[in-house]
């Protein structure tokens, strides 16, 4: 803003000292420059909250309503679970309890299910499933 106002103000001041512009016109210009600066600042403050809420709404639509955010959490938890990362650590990173993390976000693949069946079969004394 000063890039535009300061040169104009300097030229106007020079013209007043040279007598090209009268003093009441100069004062009127100063009042308008100051008033427009204050009005612009107030307008920016008034628009700040609605603009922020609009950005939140757009981001919410793009991520949550389109399912992208939930899918990212699901895949992160699933890949961490398959990579044998500590489930408590994953739950803490996602901001959920351990139960929600294991019940909602993780998907057991076929290998993990076969391992659990084998462990169950071994504990019961039966033969393991391949």
Do 100 and 91 form a contact (C-beta atoms < 8 A)? yes
Q: Which of 30, 46, 63 is the last residue of a domain?
A: 63
Cα(13)–Cα(125) distance, integer angstroms = 100
d(CA 49, CA 43): 11
How far apart CA 58 and CA 74 sit, in angstroms, is: 22
- Give a yes or no: residue 129 inside a domain: no
Host H or E run for residue 22: none
Predicted local distance difference test score (pLDDT) of residue 104? 64
Q: Does residue 113 lie in a domain region?
A: yes
User: 79 in a domain, yes or no?
Assistant: yes
pLDDT per position as a tens digit, 78-121? 667 667 777 777 777 777 776 766 666 666 667 777 887 888 88
Of the listed ranges 15-24, 48-57, 86-95, the least confidently predicted one is 86-95
The whole-model pTM stands at: 0.39
Determine the structural domain holding residue 48 and report its residue range: 2-63
């Amino acid at each position: 803003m000063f890039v535009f106002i300061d040169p104009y103000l300097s030229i106007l001041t020079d013209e007043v000292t040279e007598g090209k512009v009268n003093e009441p016109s100069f004062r009127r210009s100063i009042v308008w420059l100051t008033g427009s600066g204050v009005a612009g600042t107030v307008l920016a403050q008034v628009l700040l909250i609605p603009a922020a809420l609009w950005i939140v709404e757009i981001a919410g639509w793009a991520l949550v309503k389109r399912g992208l955010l939930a899918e990212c959490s699901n895949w992160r938890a699933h890949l961490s679970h398959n990579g044998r990362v500590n489930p408590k650590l994953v739950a803490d990173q996602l901001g959920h309890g351990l139960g929600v993390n294991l019940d909602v976000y993780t998907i057991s693949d076929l290998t993990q299910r076969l391992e659990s069946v084998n462990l169950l079969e071994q504990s019961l004394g039966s033969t393991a499933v391949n």
